[in-house]
Amino acid sequence: MIRKGRDYIESIERNPPETYYEGELVRDVVHHPAFKVPVNTVASYYDLHWKEEALRTYNRDVGEETSISLVRPKSKEELLRLGEGLVKIYDFYRGFFGRSPDYLNLWTMVFFAHAEDYFGKHFGSKFMENAMEIYRESAKRDLFYTHAIVAPMYDRTKPPSQWDDPYIQIGITEERPEGVVVRGAAMICTAGPYSEMLWYLPNMRRDSDPRYALYFSIPTTTEGVKFISRRGFQPREGGEFEYPISSRWDEADAILVLDNVLVPWDRIIFYKKPELIEDLMWHTVSLRGWFNWHFMIQHYSRLKFLAGLAMTVTEAAGTNAFINVQEKIGEILLYVAMNEAALYGSIARAQELPNIVRPDPYISISASHFNMKAVPRANEILRLITAGASIPIPAGAKDFTNPQERAYLEKYMAMKGLDALERVKTFNLLWDVIGSEAGMRYEQYDRFSRGDPTIRWAQTYTEVFKDRKEQFTKLVKEILDQMPNPKA
């Protein structure tokens, strides 16, 4: 099934998660100032499926049409269709709004594909069926998932099991015939307050205590599930003129609290074997390969938009004629080209497994990790090439309604290639990328949403390319072996 935007809005209106905002429980998430922007954006995601035929496709695994983001690719052609479908979605968002429903659809689909060879093999047939059933439910009802991974930042020098309270990180407190009880919190859960379902999938590298080792899916309305939202970055009423990004694509982030939540057994897919996480992340399931592929696509769309923004602002002022400015725009375009190559390269070199065809993980992980620095660098370039001109922009749309002031604006705010109104709109857009709260939050997301860049870049060496190490060092060794060995 593919929903329309209004179906999602009705669903979240009927069953909102329990969210605290400024000391109060949110009663009306759909119209709340902090959430109405992302709620409308999620609705627009569903509606986009009805405007873009390429996003809807017959899904053989559920026997009906679903979003392309839920279709398990069984050939390179199908993987290409999935990749191009995601590009369509992220071109629509201009590379923002990365926690749109398609993101976790991909995870749920990948878990389904590996239900047998991973979850069934390691945890037994019940867990295999759970992975399959959770996918079918999600695809048939077109549900919107959020997810949480990271433990609160209480004390990063020790594993959470050694913290003053070992249940700051979410852990199992009790096993019952009907399920397990969990308690604790997760540091950040984007979209929690307006999502319908939660995937909880902790980082087991930080602590291998089995009490923390479980993956599960539950409705966000389950008793004991709570979100504490950060301040919304929504513009003031009518602020679409001043904040074109914040008013379209501000995502809400929240702390997730699970206060003695009962998770039924049939919602769990991974249980108490933390040592199996590496196989899920890097090998059999290659979850890292998949979610980094999705990130690469988000950022490919973003970089195209940032390149367009750099060209628009510099061409208007004529600064595009300067070689140093051209070099910087060229740098963003190099990033675009490398992401384009990575997308199509990852499909051309896809791994054709019996149960799924997946993008080449070397390429997708490397590209996504590269973008942790490339996207903030593209923002920095925008700051450098627009310099002080990005700052003195009239306060709002109302400045153009005062005839005396407008006359000054038309004369002094115009640029050679843009009249005053176009120039102010363009620079408002620019500021919402490089300077506003929403813009800064996105930059933090671009750097950290897949983990810390230092650790991720180091992992390119210690993990991603580990099995190709010999291939590379052999190139050196062959020459060393051919070099003469002088005798003393």
Ligand X SMILES: Cc1cc2nc3c(=O)[nH]c(=O)nc-3n(C[C@H](O)[C@H](O)[C@H](O)COP(=O)(O)OP(=O)(O)OC[C@H]3O[C@@H](n4cnc5c(N)ncnc54)[C@H](O)[C@@H]3O)c2cc1C
Residue 104 CB, nearest approach to ligand X (Å) = 9
Report the residue number, 320 or 449, with the smaller CB distance to ligand X: 449
Report the residue number, 324 or 454, with the smaller CB distance to ligand X: 454
Lookup result for tokens 């995502």: 251
Residue 23 CB, nearest approach to ligand X (Å) = 23
Report the residue number, 57 or 364, with the smaller CB distance to ligand X: 364
Report the residue number, 147 or 358, with the smaller CB distance to ligand X: 147
Residue 84 CB, nearest approach to ligand X (Å) = 25
Q: Which of 280, 175, 171, 263 is nearest to 216 (CA)?
A: 263
Binding site for ligand X (CB under 6 A): 99, 147-150, 153, 156, 188-190, 253, 441, 444-445, 448-449, 451-452, 454-455
Report the residue number, 10 or 165, with the smaller CB distance to ligand X: 165
Residue 441 CB, nearest approach to ligand X (Å) = 6
Residue 178 CB, nearest approach to ligand X (Å) = 27
For 311, other C-beta atoms within 10 Å of its C-beta total 14
Residue 227 CB, nearest approach to ligand X (Å) = 11
Report the residue number, 150 or 397, with the smaller CB distance to ligand X: 150
Report the residue number, 96 or 370, with the smaller CB distance to ligand X: 96
Residue 376 CB, nearest approach to ligand X (Å) = 12
Residue 392 CB, nearest approach to ligand X (Å) = 29
Report the residue number, 41 or 426, with the smaller CB distance to ligand X: 41
